[in-house]
Amino acid sequence: MSKLLIGSLVGGLILFIWQFLSWGMLNLHGSTLQYTADQDKILNVLADLPEGEYFLPTVPPGSSAEEFQAQRDAMSGKPWAQVSYHKAYDVSFGSNLLRGFIVDFLAVLLLCFVLSKIERLDFKTALFCSLAVGLIGYLSDNYVSQIWFENNSMPELLDAIVQWGLCGLWLGFFMSRK
């Protein structure tokens, strides 16, 4: 049990530190947080929206399949947007950091549980299993989103490989020891 907890705590810390570097110091995700000089105009136009996620343009709820197809045909080759709108910027930095670390810890704990069930776990198997977890997460979430919404998922691919690769190096060393 202590092997699972120590492996998960250190592995979670590895993920957490990489995410801090990736989003902060290295700014790998800068392409997803671009500046526009029109930001005040855009926010003023959006001010009456309820909080939520929007895809523009689209049809109203309850529209028929024919109306959806007509909208899709009409928007072909024209501008579109995804909007995540919030009424107030209220980031609880400390709480978000804590939640992020807890999620990282739990993700690595799940991986450690799976690795602990491998009878003859060796360094290479732990490393490749860790990379597989990262790539499964990337492919089933970020890349699928990239397919449909044409966003840049390269930073997330780099994150998946680096953070889960580093975690796999740690777990390969730690979990394969007798």
* Residue 53 backbone dihedrals phi, psi, to 5 degrees: -105, 135
More confident residue, 33 or 10: 10
Dist. CA 101–CA 104, nearest whole Å: 5
More confident residue, 134 or 31: 134
Mean of pLDDT over the chain: 93
| Percent helix, percent strand, percent coil in the chain, to nearest 5 | 65, 5, 30
Q: Percent of the chain, pLDDT > 90?
A: 81
Residue 84 tokens, joined = 């995540």
At residue 151, does pLDDT exceed 90?
Answer: no
Q: Which residues contact 19 (CB under 8 A, 6 or more apart)?
A: 100, 104, 159, 163
Dist. CA 156–CA 163, nearest whole Å: 10
* Chain centre to alpha carbon of residue 46: 26
Cβ neighbours of 150 (radius 10 Å) = 10
At residue 1, does pLDDT exceed 90?
Answer: no
Residue range 89-146, pLDDT digits in tens = 887 888 999 999 999 999 999 999 999 999 999 999 999 999 999 999 999 999 999 9
| Domain extent listing, the chain | 2-33+91-175
pTM: 0.86
* Chain centre to alpha carbon of residue 22: 12
Query: Average of pLDDT values for 5-30?
Result: 96
Of 70, 73, 51, which is closest to residue 60 (Cα–Cα)? 70
Dist. CA 12–CA 8, nearest whole Å: 6
Amino acid (1-letter code) at residue 174: F
